[in-house]
Amino acid sequence: MRLRVDLLPAADPQGVVVLVDTLRTCTVAPILFDNGLTSLALTPRLKLARRFATETGAVLLGERAGLPPEGFNHGNSPAELRGVRFDGRAAVMVSQNAPTALARLGAVDRLLLGSLYNAEALVERVLELEPETVTLVCSGFDGQEDLDDALTAGFLAARLRQRRPEARYDGAARLAVGLLRAFPDPVEALWDSAAGRYLRGLELGDDLAVAGMVAQSGVVPELRERVERDEGQLFHFTPAAR
């Protein structure tokens, strides 16, 4: 098995792709499914999200500049959303880094959402697929590499290699795994990341604490469909079969 890391999204990643967006989309998504959500559509477009919610009755989640836009049911805060039930509902969520990354990747056979929060379930799911290559794609922050996603990619790569010691790292995977030694407590890396500083500036420090929790969720969101509409793309996720 080859373990690759892209520190920023690049077109046509190889093999099974794990999209990492620790702060906050890939931490929030497993929480939503844990709390009863049945499907999640991601988009970077407010207008598209509003229209989709009106058409389908989906719960409207998301952020602009870190906070929920007017008329939205909730923001993107994992600390807040851990306490909200969504039994039997679908949701559409507006965020920037993860949907922008998804648009960048192009067509991918199999795409999973990964974070520290669902790390162990993600590792199990990837190993079940017996891939020749796994590419861990960091969403980054505002178009740049960032510490939170790089550390999470390193964490996931290291766990995969513990389970498959013959797996080979590429250079970026070595770099990401190296970060683990610098940050034995992942929260510290989230704290120091550009995304983390941004959220702390919005007094959303509690989200960093939740995003730094390891293996809390058994859910691995998997991409089922990408829909092109006039206003932009929608990426539809449901939990991977267990």
Contact between 56 and its own copies per CB under 8 A: no
- Write down the least CB distance from residue 176 to its own copies, Å: 9
* Number of residues counted as binding its own copies (CB under 8 A): 28
The minimum distance between CB 209 and its own copies, in angstroms, equals 19
**Chain centre distance of CA 50:** 22
Q: Which of 30, 34, 25, 41 is nearest to 86 (CA)?
A: 34
Cβ of residue 151: shortest distance to its own copies, in angstroms?
8
Stretch that binds its own copies, among 29-37, 182-190, 201-209, 222-230 (CB under 8 A): 182-190
Sequence-ordered alpha helix ranges (H) in the chain: 25-34, 46-56, 78-81, 97-105, 119-128, 147-163, 171-182, 186-192, 194-201, 205-211
Q: Residue 132 Cβ, how far from its own copies at the closest point, in Å?
A: 18
Q: Which residues pair with 134 in a beta bridge?
A: 3, 16
> Is residue 162 near its own copies by the rule CB under 8 A?
no
Query: Does 140 sit near its own copies (CB under 8 A)?
Result: yes
Shortest distance (Å) from residue 195 CB to its own copies: 7
3-state DSSP call for residue 22?
A: coil
How many CA atoms lie less than 13 Å away from 227 in the CB half-sphere?
16
Q: In what order do the strands lie in the sheet with 133-138?
A: 59-62, 90-94, 39-43, 232-239, 221-229, 111-114, 16-20, 133-138, 2-6, 168-169
Q: Is residue 179 involved in binding its own copies (CB under 8 A)?
A: yes
Interaction of residue 180 with its own copies, rule CB under 8 A: yes
Q: If binding is defined by CB under 8 A, does position 206 make contact with its own copies?
A: no
Give the nearest distance from C-beta 177 to its own copies in angstroms: 9
CB of 97 to its own copies, least distance (A): 11
Q: Which of 47, 163, 174, 224 binds its own copies (CB under 8 A)?
A: 174
Burial of 92 (0-12, 13-18, 19+ CB in 10 A): buried
Site for its own copies in 63-102 (CB under 8 A): none
Q: Tell me whether residue 71 or residue 171 sits nearer to its own copies (CB atom).
A: 171
Q: What is the largest CA-CA distance in the chain?
A: 51
Nearer to its own copies, 1 or 150 (CB): 150
Tell me which of 77, 97, 152, 193 binds its own copies, using CB under 8 A.
193
Q: Which two tokens stand for residue 83?
A: 């306490």
Residue numbers at the binding site for its own copies (CB under 8 A): 5, 7-8, 140-142, 144-147, 150-151, 170-172, 174-175, 178-183, 189, 192-195
